Amino acid sequence: MTFSIHGLAVARGIAIGRAVLVASSRVDVAHYFIEPSQVESEIDRVRRGRNAVVDELHRLQQTVAQLGPKDASHELKALLDVHLMLLQDEEMVEGVKHWIRDRLYNAEWALTTQLEIIARQFDEMEDAYLRERKSDVEQITEKVLRAMQGQLTTGLPLAATTARKVASSELQLEDTDVPLVLVAHEISPSDMLQFKQGVFAGFVTDVGGKTSHTAIVARSMDIPAVVGARTASQLVRQDDWIIIDGDAGVVIVDPSPIILAEYTYKQRQLELDRGRLARLLGTAAVTLDGEKVELLANIEMPEDALVAVKAGAAGVGLFRSEFLFMGRLGHLPDEEEQYQAYRRAVEGMGGLPVTIRTVDIGADKPMDSTFLDGSHLNPALGLRAIRWSLADPSMFLTQLRAILRAAAHGPVKMLIPMLAHLSEIRQTVALVEQARAELRREGQAFGDVALGAMIEIPAAALMLKTFLRYFDYLSLGTNDLIQYTLAIDRADESVAHLYDPLHPAVLRLVADTIAECRAQGKEVSVCGEMAGDTGMTRLLLGLGLRSFSMHPAQILAVKQEVLRADTSRLAPWAQAVLAHEEPGSLLAD
């Protein structure tokens, strides 16, 4: 039966494919595809995890038996028996093997997928006692997952390496060319990176806002995505056919042939539109009145540099270096590893400038989902970004040294996130100087870097003169600037309707930052999602912005807007928008 689910439109286009569910689990697990040669060792990992739990339950049984009949509860004994029985359950064991063998899921993913299937069967049972057994299955699966956590994985390490590209034909679906779409409650940034290599044609998540990192990475992959779809991961089943309409924020499950035909047609039209845009690749980004505009790329991994070059980016305006730090169970990349990664990005850009932002770990980008960093109270306001870096100066110095060394191989700019205090600015500047002095003393090659600050906290936007005394350029992080100005958690779908880039207060801070930089002859760019939103291009041009940094996939569409714009006419209009109570009403035309 066809039904639709509504969420937030975050990455454009249409995807049609079979659902691959990533079940949520109370134990955080990684999701990745294994090589066919690793199938047996993955099955063995599950077996060893299960055996460890069986041994533990046997030990408990003995303890219970030793207690006198008075203390030994029958219920406890019965419970242990049930758990042991469930561990041997044929459906569970065979199901897990199926996901590993036929779909090449890593062991933990296979286990949680099978758990989800069995849990749903329990939910549908009429008998209340049997229905309650669901929590027993959940408990023992959790135990096995925990037992496996101590084991060495034979699969791909997390974000440290590039995930292998898995063609759908390797997944042994009946129809080998069928595209796959991922449906999950939530996808961690490090899992997202694993999936970045093109396995999936689209994403759907229950949670998340328009500028949550799941949405940002989906946009960077240029595939349709819907977030904030609330109960999607419960309503969709493994292998269901689904359509993701990334423009409308709608997911259609089990579409009828007529709906399918309609969306297949729309999909083709979108491909034609893209083909037309591709003609702008070699065209310079200059407005009708001759203003040159710099269109830069946002990247997450060094390999993305090639995508940026292909999209015609004039450089990298934001390299989110934190993605190198994620999913490593707290083992941070050392100076050499970071240097090599930054160097690859710099060399990949072939002489075009690369802006490397120092690590922005925290909030909805935890270093590791299993790594407790103490920022859980109010993560967006906690130990995040530069605060995290300054909390461990030697770790920060390692990154600063690596960036300076990479600058010996091409033009590099350094960018500092989340600054708000003069003391943070001073400490940062002093540490950059210390890193330079150390490298000089050691005779290590390093390059000159311009030092920039992100303006993403209202406090920073209200003390621009101070910032401009210390920094060579500024970059507006509008994703966070909106979040902190309006007190709206950018990852929370329940307040997503209030996350408004056109709020007069947000526009005022953006406009003042651009104006102050221009007045002082300093460079300024926007690297938040606003820069890639074609609905905002004319306004930003009118406010004087000449440098935009966005996902490579958005560059051509923004360029088209630039080519049609006349800044001499847009400037007075932008001032009128700024002065209006409801700026959005002037943008609608």
Residues forming the site for Mg ion (CB under 5 A): 456, 477, 480
Dihedral, 137, 139, 145, 150 alpha carbons, nearest 10: -150
398 binds, among Mg ion, ligand PEP, none (CB under 5 to 8 A by kind): none
368 binds, among ligand PEP, Mg ion, none (CB under 5 to 8 A by kind): none
In the bound state with ligand PEP, the residue whose beta carbon lies nearer, of 242 and 507, is 507
The DSSP symbol for 162 reads P
**Least spacing, CB of residue 364 vs ligand PEP, in Å:** 9
Q: Return the amino acid letter for 309.
A: V
| Cβ-proximal residues to 192 (8 Å cutoff; 6+ apart), any chain | 213, 214, 217, 218
The partner in contact with residue 224, picked from ligand PEP, Mg ion, none with C-beta cut-offs of 5 to 8 angstroms by kind, is none
Backbone angles phi, psi at 225, to 5 degrees: -150, 145
Site for ligand PEP in 254-293 (CB under 6 A): none
Residue type, 391: A
Closer to ligand PEP at the Cβ: 148 or 464?
464
Buried b (16+ CB within 10 A) or exposed e, 441-457: eeeeebeebbbbbbbbb
Q: Least distance (Å) from ligand PEP to the CB of residue 82?
A: 47
Judged by beta carbon, residue 25 or residue 358, the one nearer ligand PEP is: 358
Q: Where are the beta strands (DSSP E) in 422-488?
A: 449-455, 473-476
Beta carbon nearer to ligand PEP, 304 or 360: 360
- Using the minimum distance from each CB to ligand PEP, give the nearer residue, 246 or 477: 477
Catalytic residue among 31, 517, 527, 551: 527
416 binds, among ligand PEP, Mg ion, none (CB under 5 to 8 A by kind): none
Is beta strand 294-299 parallel, antiparallel or unpaired with respect to 547-550?
parallel
Element (H, E) at 298: strand 294-299
SS3 of 515-536: the string is HHHHHCCCEEEECCHHHHCCCC
In 311-371, which ranges are continuous DSSP H helix? Answer: 335-348
228 lines the binding site for ligand PEP (CB under 6 A)? no
Residue closer to ligand PEP, measured from CB, 327 or 477: 477
168 or 479: CB nearest Mg ion: 479
- Closest by CA to 317, choosing from 356, 360, 359, 346, is 356
Given 31, 320, 546, 559, the residue binding ligand PEP (CB under 6 A)? 320
Using CB under 6 A as the binding rule, whether residue 528 contacts ligand PEP is answered as yes
Q: Which of 213, 409, 503, 551 is catalytic?
A: 213
Distance CA 210, CA 489 (A): 10
In this structure, are residues 552 and 305 in contact, taking their beta carbons and an 8 Å threshold? no
Q: Which does 527 bind (CB under 5 to 8 A by kind): Mg ion, ligand PEP, none?
A: ligand PEP
| 326 contact, one of Mg ion, ligand PEP, none, CB 5-8 Å limit per kind | none
Question: Whole-angstrom Cα distance, residue 299 to residue 222?
Answer: 12
Q: Work out whether 317 is an interface residue with ligand PEP (CB under 6 A).
A: no
End-to-end CA distance of the chain: 40
Minimum Å distance from CB 356 to ligand PEP? 13
Residue 424 binds: one of ligand PEP, Mg ion, none (C-beta under 5 to 8 A by kind): none
What is the total count of residues that contact ligand PEP (CB under 6 A)? 10
Instruction: Give, as ranges, the residues between 453 and 492 that touch ligand PEP (CB under 6 A).
Output: 456, 477-480
Tell me the closest approach of the beta carbon of residue 211 to ligand PEP, in angstroms.
Answer: 6
| Residue 108 contact partner, candidates ligand PEP, Mg ion, none, CB within 5 to 8 A by sort of partner | none
Q: What region does 527 belong to: left with phi over 0, alpha with psi -120 to 50, or beta?
A: alpha
Is residue 360 within the footprint of ligand PEP (CB under 6 A)? yes
Q: Positive or negative, the Cα torsion across 312, 543, 213, 219?
A: negative
Q: Is 527 known to be catalytic?
A: yes
Q: Known catalytic residue: 517?
A: no
Closer to ligand PEP at the Cβ: 384 or 546?
Answer: 384
Which ranges of 229-327 would DSSP assign to H, the alpha helix? 232-235, 257-277, 304-310
The minimum distance between CB 206 and ligand PEP, in angstroms, equals 21
Beta strand pairing call for 241-245 and 14-22: antiparallel
Q: Is residue 527 a contact point for ligand PEP (CB under 6 A)?
A: yes
Strands 8-11 and 14-22: unpaired
Query: Interface with ligand PEP includes 300 (CB under 6 A)?
Result: no
- Catalytic residue ranges: 213, 527
Q: Which residues bind ligand PEP (CB under 6 A)?
A: 318, 320, 360, 456, 477-480, 527-528
